Structure 1
Amino acid sequence: MKLCYLFLVIYLLCQGLAAQEMPSPSYQIIQTRNAVQYKNYYLLTLFEQLPEFRQTLSTDTVLNAIYQLKTLRINEAIKTCRTDITCYAKALKFTDDEISGIGNRLAKLYTENNLFGRLIKNHLLPSGCYALFAKEQHQNLLIKAWEQDANAINYAIGVYVEGNKPNYPKIDSISFKVKDKEFAELTAANAWLALQGNNKLFFEPTMQFAIQALELNERDDAADYEPMAKGVNLAAIQQLKKVDWKKYPYSVILIPGAGPEEKDVALSPGGMIRCRLAALQYKKGMAPFIVVSGGRVHPYKTKFSEAYEMKKFLMRVLQIPESAIIMEPHARHTTTNLRNCARLMFRYGMPVDKAGMVCTVKSQSYYITDILPERCKKELGYYPYKSGKRLSETESEFYLNTNSLQIDFDEPLDP
């Protein structure tokens, strides 16, 4: 009997520890005025926004020495780089030694019960932003979160300052010619601005340089329509509180975007057809919400948002109420249509065990069920969803995976 009791205690303890590693739907992301920052670099945003961390990190002798050395290098670059873009980038980016040294210092500062330990328990784990590291020892999780943010900043500088190829060059490339004298002048001014104001923490000049480089390239897509919960999705969120989920077979009907290739076309014929297919399912009572997913993607640097244009079409042409439409205006390809939908379902408090429905044309529908999961695994490092039953040639089920909350370090337009 005592042995059974012991096993029960161990089981419950393990269940409790596992629950602590899981993200929480009630967790509120700490936001800044610039959504590009907190969506790409969440650990560094916490360091910056939580007063106890700003105080601790700004007075740490090791980290302050790294900051001082970085400041010297940036000032030297401003004086000497002239039109050499690579020279500026080299001065601003985190070196391998800096990333390793800062990681080691953060590890030494960490204890389970101090502010760094509480940061992991109260923010990093429940946020899900570093979900792929959740089973690491907490000290290692802190190091890996730092390394991810540092590499994400370096990646943004590499693409939008140095002109390196992004994952999808046709839609996400730099807006400037790197040998253009005007671009060098803008980059020098950006480097100088990165040292101004209150940018005194060890990471702030480099982070601000990266964020401003995205801004110069008109690549602040990650901030589109944010904060969505207080704007474009407010009506749906208010409706969420009234939903009786038992009345619906599915939580949402997801429409993956289909961007036009013509510059002046707001909504493609494919987008219109997908909206009509989804509206038909909505009117049958299959789900209380339609999720329209797609950012400003096609053609290169288009001003039209797939999600926004589909929402307009659903409301104006198909008479779907705004309270039934959830916008997801950031996905840049099908992998993140599913991932970002899963994120919103979780963040908005929908039942995580209830299937969603994907509604699209036949070719894409079969692509989503048969081919896309392995592409997601290759590109994202995990499966953001699990396919359920095929319902028809244009509809299929999917179940969300909370690993979808993981920030993608090499997609600054849709992290």
Structure 2
Amino acid sequence: MKRILIILLTFMIMSLQAQKGKGFTLGFTSAHSNAVVQDKNFYLLTAIQKNEAVRRLLENDLILKSIYEKQQKEIEGQVIVFKDSLKSLISSYQFKEGVLKNISKRLEVLIHENQFFQDFVNDNLRTSGAYENFKNESDAQLLIKAWELCATGMNQISSVYGAGEAPQYAVIDSVSYDVKSNFYKGAVVMWSDFLQHAKQKESRLFFQPALDFSLALLYMNHRDEAARYEPLAENENKKAIAHLKNINFDTYAYSSILVLGNGPENYQDRLSAVGKLNLQLGVLEYQSKKAPILIVSGGHAHPFRTSFCEAIEMKKELMEMYKIPEENILIDPHARHTTTNLRNATRLLVLNQVSITKPILVVTNSSHSSYLGNKIFAARCMSEFGYLPAIQLKRLSDTTIEFLPKIESLHQNPIDPLDP
């Protein structure tokens, strides 16, 4: 093993220079960031880790323990015999269909046998909103669906950020390195070796190896987007959230005006020409007193691994160019797509106790608005989320549409780990 790691380290050093000069801004991920990334993607797994009774039940169950030990041996074996391809090593961390279903079956047995496990589902999972789209399921089915969603998310992370498979939005969400390079192969193998020997004593939960590996891959690839700017309520949104309690929303037609982003396609511009137009359109609606607050939405999406956060830059522009008070601007610095623009805006309203029984006004350029109001967009939401984050009401103009937010927007989506 020592000789293998020395060889891999040598390859990494030789190819390190090749990684320089690509123009990427390397992110910083703290322990706090790693915890936020886990909580946002895998609330179920965090909740299990923090509940002593449930954690001990799952660690000591003979069937789940056997699954854990078998996977550990497979991973260790792949590291020892590693030659050139990461495919087998990555595969050893993933939950195959048969194993995934066996875990689901065992969880179903355990929840029926243990009242405290049922209480855990009701007191933790249901109240969290993290699995809001499963709220009509029985306790056992909610648990199983939440588990299978987490497992699918971990499999997706290892496929994309370990093996380099193309994600759904490959242009902006792909792996950060050349997965065929000796540098990256060496990094993945050494991280795997570290996780196996340094961390396996911390927990023997059946999902721990895959979870640790998934988080390590995101960390290695500087893909901590889900954690950036958190906690928002104590940072960028602090003034606006404090101001919300002073607003009489009954005097406005809409709870908020959501201005969609349109990211630049170069590494110099903070905002694109169309993005600036979207802001102008939103300001006109705000000045007409349609709503008391503006929500600007857009993350570190365009171009690939940009250092600029679109929502941050939109907020700056609103304050500097249009003199909008900071207390009237909420930002969503995480959205990477039109679907999550709507979903994340709804989350902001719910989490800050703004009623979602009042519609929001969504503002964007005519081309984007036309797509937003199309059935294709609604179908895309159903395909990617399994629900509609908001219901379209009226189109008021070629740049404005009324939407009614839906509580299902709280539902986690680890299939998109950069903005789950």
Greater alpha carbon shift after TM alignment, 311-320 vs 51-60: 51-60
Q: Is 1:400 aligned to residue 414 of structure 2?
A: no
Greater alpha carbon shift after TM alignment, 84-93 vs 116-125: 116-125
Which AA in structure 2 matches 1:347? L
Identity %: 38
Answer whether contact 2:33 2:224 (CA < 8 A) is retained.
no
TM-score (normalizing by structure 2): 0.87
Q: Hey, what's the Cα distance between the residues in 2 that align with 1:256 and 1:409?
A: 23
Structure 2 unmatched runs, 5+: 1-31
Answer whether contact 2:257 2:295 (CA < 8 A) is retained.
yes
Deviation digits for residues 315-360 of structure 1 (CA, Å, limit 9, x no counterpart): 1221111111111111111111111111221222111210101111
Greater alpha carbon shift after TM alignment, 191-200 vs 158-167: 191-200
Which AA in structure 2 matches 1:361? N
Deviation digits for residues 132-182 of structure 1 (CA, Å, limit 9, x no counterpart): 322222211111111110111001101111111100111111122222111
Greater alpha carbon shift after TM alignment, 98-107 vs 59-68: 59-68
Runs of 4+ in structure 1 deviating by more than 3 angstroms, as ranges, are none
Which residue matches 1:324?
328
Once the two structures are TM-superposed, the CA of residue 33 in structure 1 deviates from its matched residue by 5.4
Which residue matches 1:333?
337
Which AA in structure 1 matches 2:96? T
Which AA in structure 1 matches 2:186? E
Greater alpha carbon shift after TM alignment, 381-390 vs 152-161: 381-390
Which residue matches 2:241?
237
Distance 1:283 1:113, change over 3 A: farther
Out of 377, 382, 388, the residue aligned to residue 382 of structure 2 is 377
Structure 1 unmatched runs, 5+: 1-30
Which residue matches 2:418?
413
Which AA in structure 2 matches 1:413? L
Which residue matches 1:258?
262
Distance 1:194 1:98, change over 3 A: farther
Q: Is 1:388 aligned to residue 393 of structure 2?
A: yes
Once the two structures are TM-superposed, the CA of residue 113 in structure 1 deviates from its matched residue by 7.0
Which residue matches 1:23?
none
Deviation digits for residues 71-101 of structure 1 (CA, Å, limit 9, x no counterpart): 2222212211233210210111122232112
Answer whether contact 2:44 2:125 (CA < 8 A) is retained.
yes
Which residue matches 1:65?
66
Q: Hey, what's the Cα distance between the residues in 2 that align with 1:407 and 1:141?
A: 13
Q: Hey, what's the Cα distance between the residues in 1 that align with 2:79 and 2:337?
A: 38
Q: Is 1:51 aligned to residue 52 of structure 2?
A: yes
Out of 214, 220, 225, the residue aligned to residue 218 of structure 2 is 214
Greater alpha carbon shift after TM alignment, 341-350 vs 161-170: 341-350
Once the two structures are TM-superposed, the CA of residue 58 in structure 1 deviates from its matched residue by 2.2
> Secondary structure of the equivalent of 1:84?
coil
- Equivalent residues in 2 for 1:15-414 (5 A)? 34-111=35-112, 114-195=115-196, 196-197=198-199, 198-371=202-375, 372-414=377-419
Greater alpha carbon shift after TM alignment, 369-378 vs 145-154: 369-378
Q: Hey, what's the Cα distance between the residues in 1 that align with 2:89 and 2:294?
A: 46
Greater alpha carbon shift after TM alignment, 103-112 vs 343-352: 103-112
Once the two structures are TM-superposed, the CA of residue 70 in structure 1 deviates from its matched residue by 1.7
Which residue matches 1:14?
none
Answer whether contact 1:258 1:270 (CA < 8 A) is retained.
yes
Once the two structures are TM-superposed, the CA of residue 289 in structure 1 deviates from its matched residue by 1.2
TM-score (normalizing by structure 1): 0.88
Which AA in structure 1 matches 2:297? S
Greater alpha carbon shift after TM alignment, 106-115 vs 152-161: 106-115
> Secondary structure of the equivalent of 2:413?
coil
Once the two structures are TM-superposed, the CA of residue 126 in structure 1 deviates from its matched residue by 2.4
Once the two structures are TM-superposed, the CA of residue 392 in structure 1 deviates from its matched residue by 2.5
Answer whether contact 1:88 1:187 (CA < 8 A) is retained.
no
Q: What's the RMSD between the two structures over aligned residues?
A: 1.8
Q: Hey, what's the Cα distance between the residues in 2 that align with 1:386 and 1:392?
A: 17
Answer whether contact 2:34 2:215 (CA < 8 A) is retained.
no
Deviation digits for residues 95-130 of structure 1 (CA, Å, limit 9, x no counterpart): 223211211111111039722211221222222222
